[in-house]
């Protein structure tokens, strides 16, 4: 059995039909190492299972194909302040699982704390349905990030998602 870092459960806040996911996790690595893991397409492939094209600059773009379902998200980079802040649009065209698509914003904030980094991930303007489905997945993604940064084998998505689903009774 693979060991993993337990990421705290994220917060889901709802306003009307929209929702925001917020996760905070302390990583035992400096912001520069965390930033590289977040923005380097080769590293994203390992822990996020994402094929990524990133034009890293304000006004640049992201093009991600991610996850077991190979979700395709594109968007414009709104903030690019290495190694502290990265915010971008998360636009997904309508598909079977989400007939209205998504027009959301993802924000990664890295706050140094000694030799560690406090990482805050905020995914806002999601549909309530997407937020409910994404919350367990995002938690696993962050566990995988922590493992890769620590030099450990990341936990398998399917195995972790199965455990999370069993605990929640869904």
Query: pLDDT of 59-79, one tens digit each?
Result: 999 999 987 778 899 999 999
Q: Which fold is adopted by the domain 13-168?
A: Alpha-D-Glucose-1,6-Bisphosphate; Chain A, domain 4 (3.30.530)
| Calpha distance 10→60 (Å, rounded) | 28
Domain ranges of the chain: 13-168
Q: Which residues contact 22 (CB under 8 A, 6 or more apart)?
A: 10, 11, 13, 120, 121, 122, 123
Q: What is the pLDDT of residue 132?
A: 85
pLDDT string in tens for the chain (170-residue length): 333 455 566 888 999 999 999 999 999 999 999 999 999 999 999 999 999 999 999 999 999 998 777 889 999 999 999 999 999 999 999 877 777 888 999 999 999 999 999 999 999 999 888 888 888 889 899 999 999 999 999 988 777 666 555 454 44
* β partners of residue 118: 26, 111
pLDDT on residue 123 = 95
Q: Enter the pTM of the model.
A: 0.87
- The sheet with strand 11-15 has its strands ordered as 11-15, 18-27, 116-127, 102-113, 85-92, 71-81, 61-66, 50-54
What are the E-state strand segments in 99-145?
Answer: 102-113, 116-127
């Amino acid at each position: 059995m693979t060991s993993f870092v337990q990421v705290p459960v994220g917060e889901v806040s709802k306003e009307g039909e929209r929702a925001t996911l917020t996760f905070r996790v302390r990583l035992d690595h400096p912001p520069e190492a965390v930033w590289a893991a977040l923005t380097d397409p080769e590293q994203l492939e390992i822990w996020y299972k994402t094929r990524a094209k990133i034009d890293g600059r304000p006004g640049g773009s992201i093009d991600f194909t991610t996850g077991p379902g190979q979700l395709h998200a594109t968007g414009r980079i709104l903030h690019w302040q290495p190694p502290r802040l990265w915010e971008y649009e998360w636009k997904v065209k309508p598909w079977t699982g989400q007939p209205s698509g998504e027009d959301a914003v993802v924000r990664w904030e890295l706050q140094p704390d000694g030799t560690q980094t406090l990482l805050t991930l905020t995914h806002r303007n999601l549909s309530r349905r997407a937020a409910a489905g994404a919350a367990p997945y995002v938690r696993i993604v962050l566990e995988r990030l922590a493992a890769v940064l620590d030099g450990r084998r990341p936990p398998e998505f399917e195995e972790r998602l199965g455990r999370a689903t069993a605990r929640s009774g869904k």
